[in-house]
A and B are shown apart, each in its own frame.
Chain A
Amino acid sequence: MDQMDYVLSILPFILSGLKLTAKVYVFTLVFALPLGLLAAIGKVKGPKLLQKILYLYTWIWRGTPLLLQLFFVFYGLPIIGIRLSPFAAATVTYALNSGAYLTEIFRGGIESIDKGQYEAAKALGMTYPQTMRRIIIPQTVRRVLPPSCSEAVNLVKETALLAVIGMPDLLRISTQIFTRDFNITPFIVAFGLYLIISSVLVKLFGTLEKKYSIYD
């Protein structure tokens, strides 16, 4: 019973950490999804210069540690005079990082669509934007759901790096309680919460996959 009371007493703090984690997560996805989609289309069909820039983008952001990227944005940008709030800095970093992975996922998805689909659309008089919007992207969504699910779950876990740069996220709050009380219970609660969020996401993607598999 004591243990239960203890959990209830620390829960408000932990939930405040969860709130920050969730906020960064949602904002990241709001930016990363369109970024990934547009960058993927740019990579497939954009002008050569844009393709080169996008190549550099995904090369750098997928090829270096996320923690190092966070350090650069947090401590590097102020040196060149760009000052962002910690929340903005974190969101930008996560969005660019996640966007790079999504770019490659979406690019692979778009390129996996049979070229006959483009030809049929063209023969019916559709323009390229019409073809992408109505024919290619909807089929791509179906194919990229499984890898996107992995990315979405990864991102949940990667938000734990917020703790390292001193933001009061789920993990950092738990750590603070741990050092205060010298009790590992907050870690167990955090463990459970991460697992719950990941499971909800997997479930959500599973539902989406089912909905999109109607035409298989």
Chain B
Amino acid sequence: MTMIRMLDIHKHFGSLNVLKGVSLEVKKGEIIAIIGPSGSGKSTLLRCMNQLETIDQGIIEIEGVVVEAAGNVDVKVTASTQEVRATYRKMGMVFQGFNLFPHMTALGNVVEAPMLVNKVAKDDAIQIAEKQLAKVGLLEKKDAYPSKLSGGQKQRVAIARALAMNPDIMLFDEPTSALDPELIGEVLSVIKTLAQEHMTMLIVTHEMGFAKEISDRVIFMDDGKILEDSNPKDFFENPRHPRIKTFLEKML
């Protein structure tokens, strides 16, 4: 089953072309690592998937629903606004900067969207939230405000918050880039747990070892295009492209 289909996506910021015709299909249960030099468009690609950026050209389809069609394409968004919104809700996102709500406790952060968006009753929402916080190993911190949590704990709460909406797809935008080295492991291990449960995931990361270990597909982006799309073994052991060889030599 195809979860995400992106077709010839173009995106520019002012005169800067960030995505220059990217096409991508994501199947259910796939774990895709998106890597590449900074400025290559990895984050923008991820942000286009859940409409944090609007595309200039191309088609985005999520679980069979066209959610965005822009520019010179022969497809239109036929789904109702409601349906499009519901489709986007099937994707959870985790940010580099955590973006926890600082005025709410860890539990408050996690129950908020289920109650507000999905209209889940308070008691049920708390149950869902506690389950997710337990999953990321932070149930005992449920009453702590984000300011009292370490970076790794914040990111784990952010993951629990996204999971509480029961998403089919998780997008991770450099989830460990803002963390001190000793805190990276705890976040990666939570993501590994999700991988074992076959959650469909797209992970923009600079952690090459992690990408190699966890992903079943690696996408290398360079200059707004996908330069390589292969399995991690081939990618890391026999990179075909000289550009990728140079990149990997620098990273490893």
Contacts and interface: CB of A to CB of B under 8 A. Distances in A.
Contact of A120 (B85, B88, B95, B117): B95
Contacts of B52: 119, 122-123
Contacts, number: 63
Contacts of B112: 124, 134
B161 interface: yes
Nearest to A139: B103
B116 A130 contact: yes
B102 interface: yes
B117 A123 contact: no
Contacts of A138: 103
A125 B89 contact: yes
A5 B184 CA distance: 75
B125 interface: no
Contacts of B92: 123-124
B50 A123 contact: yes
A117 interface: yes
A215 B146 contact: yes
Interface string A122-135: 11111000100011
A181 interface: no
Nearest to B85: A125
Given A125-B113, A215-B147, A120 B99 contact: yes
Contact of A125 (B97, B102, B165): B165
10 contacts: A119-B52, A119-B99, A120-B93, A122-B52, A123-B91, A125-B118, A125-B165, A126-B117, A139-B102, A215-B145
Interface of B: 50-52, 85, 88-89, 91-93, 95, 97, 99-104, 112-113, 116-118, 145-147, 158, 161-162, 165
